Amino acid sequence: MSKSDVEDRAQGRTETWLHRGMFWLLCLFAAASGLSVAVTNVAMGLLVPLAIYRLWRNPPDWRGIWHIAPGIFGWLGLFVLSAFLSAVTSPEFQKGMAMFGNDYIYRMLPAGIVLFWVKDKRQLRILAILMVLSISLNNLWGIGQWLRTPFAVGVRFQGPISFMAQGAMLSALIPLLFLATVRHIGGRWYPMAPVLLAVAVVALLFNGARGAWLATFATTIVTMALAVRDRKRYLAGLAISLLLLGGVFTQSAALHARLATLAQPTYQSNSERLLMWRSAFQMFQDHPLLGVGMGHYEKAYQTRYILPEAKERTQWHAHNNIMQMLGERGALGAVTFCGMWLYFMFFSLHGWRQTQEVSCLAFFTIVLGVMLQGLTDYNLWSAVVAKMYWFSLAIALQWIALTRKERSV
C-alpha cells in the first residue's frame, strides 16, 4: 500500500469521526433546545472548532448549498447585510457588532452545519424528533407548574424558558403537530403526534400568551386548509375545534378573562404596545435609512423616544418584529426583513403546490407561525426562539433539497 493510500485512509477515518462528532453535538443541541440555553451553548461551543477544522480540511460544495434555493439565501444575505450596516453605524458600535455576531453568526451556526453536512434523511428525522421532544418536555414542565399553582393568581406557566419563547415555539409546533397527525408523518413515531399535540395545546393555554394564541390558531387554520384535501373534512374539523375551544374558554373564568382583554384598548399590555410602536415609528422618521442603530434601541427609547404616558419605563424592544426593525434598522432593515419572510413563504407555498412535498408545507408553517406571533412580540431577540427557528428551517430546507435530488435521479 502506497503512502498516499495510507494518508487517504487516515483522512477518511478522520472525516468519519468528525461527521459523527458533529452530528452527536447537533443531537445534543436539538435535545436541549427547548429546555436549556446553557446546554445548547455548550454544544455550539464544541461545534465551532469542529466546523472550522472541517471547513479548512474539506470545504463543502458552496455551489450545492446555493443551488438549494438561491432566492432564500439571496434575501437572507440582504437582511444580514442591512443588520451589519446598522451595527457599524450604531452610536453603540461595540454593542451593535456584538449583537450582530450573536444574532447572525453564532445563532445560525447549527443551521449552517445542517445545510453543509447533514445529507441523510434519517439524521434529519432524528434531529427533528429530538427538537419536538425537547419542546414537549418543556410543555410538561409548564403543566406541572400549573398543577402546583392555580392559573387564577396570574402566574405564567412556561417551564424552564420564558413564556414568550414558549409561546413563539408553540405557534409553529402546534400547527406542525396537526399536520403530522393529519398526514400521518413520523413513521413509527406517528402515534406520538396526537399525544404531543394535546400536551402542547394545554401548555399554550396555561402559558397565557394572547399573541401566541392568535398566531397558533391562524397558522393552524391556514396549514390545515392546505393539508386537508377534503373540504368537508376540513370544515368539520374546524367546527369541532371551535366548539372545544369555546367550551374551554367558557368553563375557565381565568382563560375567559385573559381572552377578553384582547378587545380592551385600555388594558395596559395593549395600550403600552401601541405606545411602543409609536415610539419605534418616531425613531424611523428621525433615522429613516438605517434606524437608530443595532444595539442602540434600548438607550434611544428610554432616554429620548419613550412617550410621557407610557407606564412601562424600562422596556427595551418594540414588542413587534417589524416595528423593531423599522426603529432600530430603518427602512433598509424593515424592507429586507419583510421581503425575506414573504419570499420564504412564497418559496415554500409554491413548492407545496407543485410537489405536495410535506417538508415544503412544514417550512411554510414554521415561517408563518413565528411571523404571526412576532406581530405582538419581538420574538427573534430570544436565543431559544432564534436558534430553533433557523435550525428547524434548515432541517426542512435540507429535506426539500434531498427530495428534489432523489426525484431528479
Q: What is the model's pLDDT at position 372?
A: 94
**What's the whole-model pTM score?**
0.91
Q: What is the model's pLDDT at position 270?
A: 85
Query: Per-residue pLDDT for the chain (409 aa), expressed as one digit of tens each?
Result: 555 554 455 555 666 788 888 999 999 999 999 888 889 999 999 998 888 888 787 776 666 667 778 899 999 999 999 999 999 999 999 999 999 999 998 999 999 999 988 989 999 999 999 999 999 998 888 888 777 765 544 556 667 777 788 888 999 999 999 998 887 776 676 788 889 988 999 888 888 788 889 999 999 999 999 988 877 878 887 788 878 878 877 777 777 778 888 778 778 888 889 999 999 999 999 999 999 999 999 999 999 999 988 888 888 889 999 999 999 999 999 999 999 999 999 999 999 999 989 999 999 999 999 999 999 999 888 889 999 999 999 999 999 999 988 877 6
Q: What is the model's pLDDT at position 99?
A: 94
Q: What is the model's pLDDT at position 409?
A: 64
| Length of the chain, in residues | 409
